[in-house]
Structure 1
Amino acid sequence: MLFRGVVGVLVVPLLCGCVSYEEYRGIQDELSRSKRNNSDLITQYQRDLLDRQKTRKEISSREGELQVEMEELKKQLLVMESKKEGLEKIDGRDFEKEDLPAGAKIESGGISLGSNLLFRSGQARLKTHQFPSLDQVARLLKGKYSSYEVLIEGHTDNEPLKSTRQLFEYNIVLGYERASNVFRYLIKKHGLPEKRFQVTSYGMSKPLNPANASTSQGRSENRRVVFRLKRNIH
């Protein structure tokens, strides 16, 4: 476009016969500069275009590499999860039937003591006449299973608290307080180290048999404290 404009400026004066040699040379110089500028602009544009194409290829290539890396990380994560599950199975240990205190049951490898044996309805305070059952558990943890960490779980039924609602607003809180009181008894009465224990509450979320969780028998079975052997710390 610039080239055409300069040509027009050159041609019109020449046709009119009123262009001096100096003016003619000036127009030629301007025309040459315009050509060089246009050539430089075209060259720069071509370079920019090549750079953009190169960048797109690099980005596309990097995206492919990242996708491969992500797939590899997913595989490694699956392997790690598998190893973790395997280690948990190796580290943990089940109690044996001959370990059971009076009135206790085996629940998925743990010792389950019914809350009806240990506590009054809606209460978290231990019944004193049930201390022998906990004493037997303590002897197991100090002797046969002295190298294991222990998880104490509190479980409740699915019936809303009524008479003791001012003390325990939710069943999960009641379950935790019961498990905590069992934990306190074991460390205070038998001197078991606190660091070996974990305490948790599942409230009513893990019934033994969901199908009868709302029956009288089901509620009675679901009110319990469970001891589980976890990681071997020796």
Structure 2
Amino acid sequence: MKRILFLLVISSLVLGSCVSKKEFIELEGKYKKSQDLLNSTTVKLNSCLTDKAAMEARLTEIQARLADMKKTNEDLIQSSKDLTMLTSKGAANLEKSLESLKEKDLKISRLQDALSKKDSVTLALVTSLKREVGINDPDIEINVEKGVVYISLSDKLLFKSGSYEISARASEILGKVAKVINGKPNFEAMVEGHTDNVPYKNGLLLDNWDLSVKRATAVVRALQDLGISPGRLVAAGRGEYVSLVPNDTAENRATNRRTRILVLPKIDQFYDMIEREMKTLSEGGN
């Protein structure tokens, strides 16, 4: 089409201006060169446009990646700050926990010291009782049971059968016991009366339980007369219900008929101290 247009233009020029054949050939050559240059330039232009589009796409991709990297970097910085904050809080919490553990260890040590002191006093008390009362009499037993010092006196040493009147020999033994208890003002004495299971038939009392209580109060009054403050004395009757051995022989029944004097720390003071310490421990843990 272009060729036809070109020939028409040339023809009109030739016809209009009477161009020579030589000039026409020169013009045709120039046109061809111009056309070749135009084609070459168009190809280069298209190539440049393609490269531009590719570079623009690449630029968009790089910008997106850069934005992502920037966001990631900001997130890392924030995470680092959060981690630093958490680490600081963790260190503070750990320090508080260590302090709390130290306080608990100290309080537990104080409790252990108190218990150790009690054990030491208990040992000294047992030694004093054995020295004063004596340990060679088979009717007297001095021992420690669950942290409590007790003196067990047989029925025949203290009372006549079915009676709650203290014998002369028992008064001598109780005098020695009172001497030791009076030397320990922070201790109390609880007297327990025990019987066998043979029914009580005297008629003055109701039963063995009643007899065990009367025997306990008789010993308590004797200790009071020996100088022990009545506020430090407790009387308890256990009847036949806490036997040491089965009541199936005369010998076993004699073993079960006994009076025990428990020498123990003042329970209210000791447990008040324990409760205070445990309360302090609990508050420290919370």
- What stretches of structure 1 move > 4 A for 4+ residues in a row? 90-95
Match for residue 265 of structure 2? 231
Structure 1 residue 120 and structure 2 residue 160: aligned? Answer: yes
- 1:211-226 aligned at under 5 Å gives the runs 212-226=246-260
Say whether the 8 Å CA contact 2:182–2:227 is kept in structure 1: no
Unaligned 5+ segments in structure 1 are: 1-82
Aligned residues with identical type, % of pairs: 29
Question: Per-residue displacement from partner, 1:53-88 (whole Å, max 9, x unpaired)?
Answer: xxxxxxxxxxxxxxxxxxxxxxxxxxxxxx9xx98x
Q: How far off its partner does 1:120 sit?
A: 0.3
Unaligned 5+ segments in structure 2 are: 1-110, 271-286
Structure 1 residue 204 and structure 2 residue 240: aligned? Answer: yes
Q: 1:116 to 1:230 in 2, by over 3 A?
A: same
| Structure of greater Rg | 2
d(CA) in 2 for partners of 1:231 and 1:97?
16
Match for residue 4 of structure 2? none
AA aligned to 1:153 is E
d(CA) in 2 for partners of 1:225 and 1:203?
11
Say whether the 8 Å CA contact 2:181–2:263 is kept in structure 1: no
Question: Per-residue displacement from partner, 1:71-118 (whole Å, max 9, x unpaired)?
Answer: xxxxxxxxxxxx9xx98xx69947526624343113533100011111
- 1:157-196 aligned at under 5 Å gives the runs 157-162=196-201, 164=202, 166-188=203-225, 190-196=226-232
Match for residue 136 of structure 1? 176
SS at match of 1:172: helix
SS at match of 2:234: strand
Task: Give the number of the structure whose residues are more often helix, by fraction.
Answer: 2
d(CA) in 1 for partners of 2:250 and 2:210?
22
Residue correspondences, number? 143
Match for residue 146 of structure 1? 185
d(CA) in 1 for partners of 2:162 and 2:262?
24
Which has the higher relative contact order, 1 or 2, with Cα contacts under 8 A spaced 6 or more apart?
1
d(CA) in 1 for partners of 2:128 and 2:244?
22
AA aligned to 1:130 is A
Q: How far off its partner does 1:201 sit?
A: 0.6
The alignment's TM-score, normalised by the length of structure 1, stands at: 0.54
d(CA) in 2 for partners of 1:99 and 1:191?
17
d(CA) in 2 for partners of 1:121 and 1:146?
34
Q: How far off its partner does 1:127 sit?
A: 1.0
Say whether the 8 Å CA contact 1:112–1:226 is kept in structure 2: yes
Alpha carbon RMSD of aligned pairs, Å?
2.7
Match for residue 28 of structure 2? none
